[in-house]
Amino acid sequence: MVRVRFAPSPTGSLHVGNCRTAVLNWIFAKKMKGRFILRIEDTDVERSTQVSEKGIIEDLKWLSLYWDEGPEIGGDYGPYHQSERLEIYRKEAVKLLNEGKACRCFCTQEELEKEKEERLKKGLPPKYSGKCLNLSKKEIDRLISTGKEFSIRFHVDSEDVEVNDLVMGDINFKSDVISDFIILRSNGRASYNFAVVVDDIFMGITHVIRGSDHLSNTPKQILLYRAFNKKIPEFAHIPMITGINGNRLSKRDGTVSVREYREMGILPEALINFLSLLSWSSPTGEEILSVDRLIGEFDFSRISKSPAAFDIKKLLWMNGYYIRNYDKKKLTELILPYFYGKNVENLYDVVDTISDNLECLAQAPEKSEIFVTDNIKFDKNVDKSILKDKEARNILSLVLNKLDEIDDFSEENLTNVLKNIIKESGVKTKNFLQILRLALTGKNQGPEIVKIIKIFGKEKCKRFIEYVLSMNIIN
Ligand code: GLU
């Protein structure tokens, strides 16, 4: 059975790049009817925080990327926090030590720095010299008895390492550039490469899908699999996400945190769709793809090797599509918090009216300003003087009179009523509606006029028109 994992380090909020990794792992697990595991890589005690972990977990739930094993739900391969697996790492490191595949390294940080400098001066790669590999048993015992601290260092064998990556293809790493590396620090903490491999082995991970920033770690990890005599999982390194100019993704390209997109009112469906299409594409060339289609069509062979640019405009466009097609009742619930502290009657109708023009939910208050305000505010760029014309006054009077007569404010009835008044006035529909829109909203553009009248209701419509008709306010 396919078993994949998403292994975030809780050192900040969920980054869109990591989120994309989670999305692809989840999609692949669903496609293969496998299991999606969440493992918290919190070995870096100084930088890991509970707040970050909580935030990442909340964001994954918001995206409906539920895990089959991991924090909160447990599973047969736990614990799922690296901080609770220290004893496992220690035992595994000792195993390699006893088999002669690793050694105790007594070098201090200063000694290692000095050694590195000297090698660089001589034009040699800054590799570990292998000094502690050759210590005699007697010498080791003596150093231990003096209480000298040591770490455990893995000894790299001389065979080259070939990575057969599902995305990046076959890559050969020469073993002579890989330094003997530390697997267990003197403080008892496992190094990243060691903990990951031990966990992936213990958790039966079949496919390691992660960002290509980890590609350079992969040969070291493969060497550890070899040392443990364990099957090497499949690797799939997904190209990095860049900003629109091809540079490293930064704030300038839009925010990089999933939480901020969530707060802006990007819908989870849109974010998943958008992130899946960074590097991957559907064979049909279509861009709007439901989760089911993403699962059905996902294939590693369609992931490009080159970095993908994060285009916020495309995300907003896509989000606009999802907003337009969302269930209006659910959308109203999602939009409600953006109106905190504001009193909006008929929010459902307002949402129904503005949703075609929204790119994110946070725009809702601004787009519904006309429904919230009690006083007409003219846009700076509109020509108010046309409302002084006889024709305009005539139109507005007709509407005002009609408003008194009608009680049915359904869109259907309002459409008919307007049609009749337009006929009666003899004014061109376009001009008529422009005058009416201007008198009701102070703007030249906006939602459909019948929808506006319906939401405003009789009193507000009358008040605004009367206000405009009292010519002294127009200057
Ligand atoms: N914890 C690592 C990170 O957040 C991921 C390790 C891995 O996927 O192998 O970058």
pLDDT tens readout for residues 131-178: 898 899 999 999 999 999 999 999 998 788 999 999 999 999 988 788
* The one-letter amino acid at 242: T
pLDDT of residue 263: 96
Confidence of residue 373 (pLDDT cuts 50, 70, 90): confident
Fold of 373-470: Arc Repressor Mutant, subunit A (1.10.10)
Which atom of ligand 1 sits closest to the CA of residue 6? 8
77 pLDDT more than 80? yes
Q: Does the beta carbon of 41 sit less than 6 angstroms from any atom of ligand 1? A: yes
Strands 234-238 and 207-211, sheet pairing: parallel
Across the chain, which distance is largest between two alpha carbons, in Å? 110
Q: What is the mean pLDDT of the chain?
A: 93
State CA 244 to chain mean position distance: 16
State in Å, rounded, how far the first CA of the chain is from the last one: 76
Strands 3-6 and 35-38, sheet pairing: parallel
pLDDT of residue 466: 92
Query: What are the respective helix, strand and coil percentages of the chain, to the nearest 5?
Result: 55, 10, 35
CATH class of 85-238: alpha beta
Structure tokens at 453: 């009248």
Are domains 85-238 and 251-326 of this chain identical in fold? no
pLDDT of residue 125: 78
Given strand 169-173, what is the order of strands in its sheet?
A: 35-38, 3-6, 207-211, 234-238, 161-165, 169-173
pLDDT of residue 160: 87
Whole-number Å distance between alpha carbons of 186 and 125 = 25
Which position among 251, 328, 423, 428 bears the catalytic label? 251
19 pLDDT more than 80? yes
Q: What are phi and psi of 247, to 5 degrees?
A: -85, 175
Domain regions of the chain by residue span? 85-238, 251-326, 373-470
pLDDT of residue 472: 52
Identify the residue whose tokens are 């707040």: 51
Active site residue 127: no
Query: Nearest 5°: CA angle at 44, between 247 and 94?
Result: 120
Whole-number Å distance between alpha carbons of 205 and 4 = 6
Q: Does the beta carbon of 196 sit less than 6 angstroms from any atom of ligand 1? A: yes
pLDDT, mean of residues 291-297: 97
Identify the residue whose tokens are 């926090």: 81
Do 71 and 78 form a contact (C-beta atoms < 8 A)? no
Whole-number Å distance between alpha carbons of 440 and 400 = 12
What one-character-per-residue DSSP string does 217-234 give? GHHHHHHHHHHHT-PPPE
Whole-number Å distance between alpha carbons of 414 and 457 = 11
Q: Does the beta carbon of 31 sit less than 6 angstroms from any atom of ligand 1? A: no
Q: What are 234's strand-pairing partners? A: 207
Which of 30-34, 89-93, 109-113, 150-154 is the least confident region?
A: 109-113
Q: Does the beta carbon of 349 sit less than 6 angstroms from any atom of ligand 1? A: no
pLDDT of residue 386: 86
CATH number attached to the domain at 251-326: 1.10.1160.10
Which atom of ligand 1 sits closest to the CA of residue 5? 8
Distance 72 CA to ligand 1 centre (A): 20
Confidence of residue 471 (pLDDT cuts 50, 70, 90): low
The pick from 23, 196, 213, 215 for probing ligand 1's pocket by mutation, whose C-beta has the most ligand atoms within 8 angstroms, reads 196
Whole-number Å distance between alpha carbons of 467 and 375 = 9
Distance 7 CA to ligand 1 centre (A): 5
Identify the residue whose tokens are 């003096």: 146
| Range of 118-127, 132-141, 216-225 with top mean pLDDT | 216-225
Whole-number Å distance between alpha carbons of 175 and 194 = 17
Whole-number Å distance between alpha carbons of 422 and 396 = 11
pLDDT of residue 283: 93
Which atom of ligand 1 sits closest to the CA of residue 200? 9
pLDDT of residue 309: 93
Do 207 and 5 form a contact (C-beta atoms < 8 A)? no
Task: Write the CB contacts of 439 (distance below 8 Å, at least 6 apart in sequence).
Answer: 376, 387, 392, 396, 464, 465, 468
Which spans in 12-130 are helix H?
16-31, 50-62, 86-98, 109-121
pLDDT of residue 37: 98
Query: Nearest 5°: CA angle at 87, between 150 and 69?
Result: 135
Do 395 and 435 form a contact (C-beta atoms < 8 A)? yes
Confidence of residue 116 (pLDDT cuts 50, 70, 90): confident
Do 129 and 112 form a contact (C-beta atoms < 8 A)? no
Before 125, cis peptide (omega within 30)? no
Give the tens place of pLDDT for each residue, 405-463: 999 999 999 999 999 999 988 889 999 999 999 999 999 988 899 999 999 999 999 99
Whole-number Å distance between alpha carbons of 437 and 446 = 8
DSSP tag of 254: S
Higher pLDDT, 249 or 268: 268
Contacts of 202-205 with CB under 8 Å at 24 or more apart are 202/77, 202/88, 203/3, 203/5, 203/37, 203/39, 203/69, 203/77, 204/3, 204/77, 205/3, 205/4, 205/5, 205/37, 205/233
Give the tens place of pLDDT for each residue, 308-359: 999 999 999 999 999 999 999 999 999 999 988 777 778 999 999 999 999 9
